[in-house]
Chain A
């Protein structure tokens, strides 16, 4: 069974003459334990797919199936959020500036109905390589990489099966990016997670994902293996161009 299945997904914003079709007829499936990438330029609709899944983009049609359960509309129940969690691009914007790390994680654990919050907060911090001395810090006392670790810990709080990663490292320096990508690789191995990762950086996607879809103007134009991308043999002309732009001088 696929962990995630999306078929003929359309997402649009506005209506009448102002209607913008952000995603048009997208279909793909992600197997249990797989890591799947979405690449494309800004405005190609890659993040919108994640937003439609999590209910942040309410106007969509088609089928989204998560571990066998079909989703409808924009409402998601508690069960969904215990299965699927999302990590956002900008760790500066996605953490509450006046909440300590402890408050952020405790509140999330409480929402998931988990007892034993005290020890869980410590294990979560340990899991993302922060350690207990970071527990009572505020976001402004952390570096960008440390903040992204807190955001990842928050996503892992409910022990989800699937993580949606929306450009998790594009706001970070390359040295910090390497640390976060290594952390994500280890977490996937330890917890048997499934990843759906959005990025504009082909090298990052090739490093992190088994398969990927290339998007342009809201449509998926090609789905391929990471090996095909590494070998420089995408079938579609646009994917070739994209690859050329990110490697050759």
Chain B
């Protein structure tokens, strides 16, 4: 069964030069799967993720036929009702823990707050739950980390804390926007494996937004490829390397490869027709 259905989503920003359409009529559905969204910067992938949670700030406008979460249209909800959806049902992990954790509050207090926001429990119980969650994301010394401030932990640890915080209310859908781009390759794997394990264990739906094609093809089940606000291609992640659209091919071919030596990398030649073709259903 589909957890989330998005139909004809537009994100618009009025500017002095007229209205700029960041996302142009995107439709897709998400089941209990790992769905990747890839594209270059400016392709509208992050805006799609934010629009689902209605996190587009004024003067930005979100329009869609519907964004259905288990049959309920998120666009019809009041701001107050939305607050119950965010975190509890759909939560989001951002790119850089340095900018997403509160620098003046301890890690523990932030995780406990995330839990108590949606669950009426005592502080002691929330504390216990937070410790368990930190252990679940492979943090070795959770008692110490609970007392630490965000600047006292490394980037990889910060990102795992973010994941712990986002998963503690037990959401049905996790939107991860470039969750590992700020991390070293070796730590990247570790964080992804943890996230993967938790998503599988809880039967969640995951939307994984990234610019890294290799990472997405290894880590996801299905991939949407976005170009100038539209979906140009949908394919199974393990078949990403057989993708057909010239844009996807161009992106794949422009990567330097360890197993092939060449003096020049192939360069993407953009075809203006790509941005005019209708969005593909995902």
Stretch at the interface among A94-102, A104-112, A172-180: A172-180
Question: 9 A-B residue contacts at CB 8 Å?
Answer: A41-B185, A41-B186, A42-B184, A174-B213, A174-B251, A175-B267, A178-B254, A202-B258, A230-B259
Cβ of B41 < 8 Å from any Cβ of A? yes
Would B267 and A178 count as touching, CB distance under 8 A? yes
Cβ of A130 < 8 Å from any Cβ of B? no
Give 1 or 0 for each of A210-241: 1 = CB within 8 Å of chain B CB: 00000000000000000001101000000001
Q: A175-B268, A182-B265, A182-B267 are in contact. Are A206 and B256 (CB under 8 A)?
A: yes
Choose one: B213, B257, B266; the contact of A203 (CB below 8 Å): B257
Would A203 and B185 count as touching, CB distance under 8 A? no
Would A204 and B256 count as touching, CB distance under 8 A? yes
Would B265 and A173 count as touching, CB distance under 8 A? no
**Chain B residues near A41 (CB-CB < 8 A):** 184-187
Cβ of B189 < 8 Å from any Cβ of A? yes
**Chain A residues near B255 (CB-CB < 8 A):** 174, 178, 203
Taken together as a complex, chains A and B put the C-alpha atoms of A146 and B41 apart, in Å, by 14
Cβ of A246 < 8 Å from any Cβ of B? yes
Would B40 and A175 count as touching, CB distance under 8 A? yes
Give 1 or 0 for each of B262-282: 1 = CB within 8 Å of chain A CB: 111111100000000000000
Number of A-B residue pairs at CB separation under 8 A: 73
Would A203 and B267 count as touching, CB distance under 8 A? no
> Could you tell me the distance in whole angstroms from the C-beta of A145 to the nearest C-beta in chain B?
11
Cβ of B188 < 8 Å from any Cβ of A? yes
**Chain A residues near B41 (CB-CB < 8 A):** 144, 173
Cβ of A76 < 8 Å from any Cβ of B? no
Would A175 and B258 count as touching, CB distance under 8 A? no
Using a CB-CB cutoff of 8 Å, which residues 183-224 of chain B contact chain A?
184-189, 211, 213, 218
Would B185 and A200 count as touching, CB distance under 8 A? yes
Would B268 and A178 count as touching, CB distance under 8 A? yes
Chain B facing A: main interface SS: loop
Using a CB–CB cutoff of 8 Å, the interface residues on chain A facing chain B are: 41-42, 144, 173-179, 181-182, 185, 200-204, 206-208, 229-230, 232, 241-243, 245-247, 249
Q: A174-B251, A245-B186, A245-B188 are in contact. Are A181 and B256 (CB under 8 A)?
A: yes
**Chain B residues near A185 (CB-CB < 8 A):** 263-264
Q: Smallest CB-CB separation from A247: which chain B residue?
A: B258
Would B184 and A178 count as touching, CB distance under 8 A? no
Which 10 interchain pairs have the tightest Cβ spacing? Answer: A178-B254, A207-B256, A178-B265, A175-B268, A41-B184, A173-B40, A249-B218, A203-B256, A245-B185, A245-B186
Q: A182-B267, A230-B258 are in contact. List 6 more A-B contacts (CB 8 A).
A: A41-B186, A42-B155, A173-B40, A175-B254, A185-B264, A202-B258
Using a CB-CB cutoff of 8 Å, which residues 224-266 of chain B contact chain A?
250-251, 254-259, 261-266
Would A245 and B189 count as touching, CB distance under 8 A? yes
Q: Smallest CB-CB separation from A226: which chain B residue?
A: B261
Taken together as a complex, chains A and B put the C-alpha atoms of A176 and B41 apart, in Å, by 11
Q: A207-B265, A242-B186, A245-B189 are in contact. Are A175 and B257 (CB under 8 A)?
A: no
Q: Smallest CB-CB separation from A171: which chain B residue?
A: B41
Would B218 and A175 count as touching, CB distance under 8 A? no
Q: Smallest CB-CB separation from B256: which chain A residue?
A: A207
> Could you tell me the distance in whole angstroms from the C-beta of B29 to the nearest C-beta in chain A?
26
**Chain B residues near A245 (CB-CB < 8 A):** 185-186, 188-189
**Chain B residues near A203 (CB-CB < 8 A):** 255-258
Taken together as a complex, chains A and B put the C-alpha atoms of A41 and B218 apart, in Å, by 22
**Chain B residues near A200 (CB-CB < 8 A):** 184-185
> Could you tell me the distance in whole angstroms from the C-beta of A198 to the nearest C-beta in chain B?
14
Choose one: B185, B254, B257, B267; the contact of A242 (CB below 8 Å): B185
**Chain A residues near B188 (CB-CB < 8 A):** 245
Taken together as a complex, chains A and B put the C-alpha atoms of A41 and B187 apart, in Å, by 9
Taken together as a complex, chains A and B put the C-alpha atoms of A246 and B186 apart, in Å, by 8
**Chain B residues near A230 (CB-CB < 8 A):** 258-259, 261
Q: Smallest CB-CB separation from A179: which chain B residue?
A: B267
Q: A41-B184, A178-B265 are in contact. Are A173 and B211 (CB under 8 A)?
A: yes
Taken together as a complex, chains A and B put the C-alpha atoms of A58 and B55 apart, in Å, by 45
> Could you tell me the distance in whole angstroms from the C-beta of A229 to the nearest C-beta in chain B?
7
> Could you tell me the distance in whole angstroms from the C-beta of B264 to the nearest C-beta in chain A?
5
**Chain A residues near B263 (CB-CB < 8 A):** 185
Taken together as a complex, chains A and B put the C-alpha atoms of A23 and B185 apart, in Å, by 21
Taken together as a complex, chains A and B put the C-alpha atoms of A224 and B257 apart, in Å, by 18
Would A206 and B258 count as touching, CB distance under 8 A? yes
**Chain A residues near B213 (CB-CB < 8 A):** 174
Using a CB-CB cutoff of 8 Å, which residues 51-104 of chain B contact chain A?
none
**Chain A residues near B257 (CB-CB < 8 A):** 203, 207
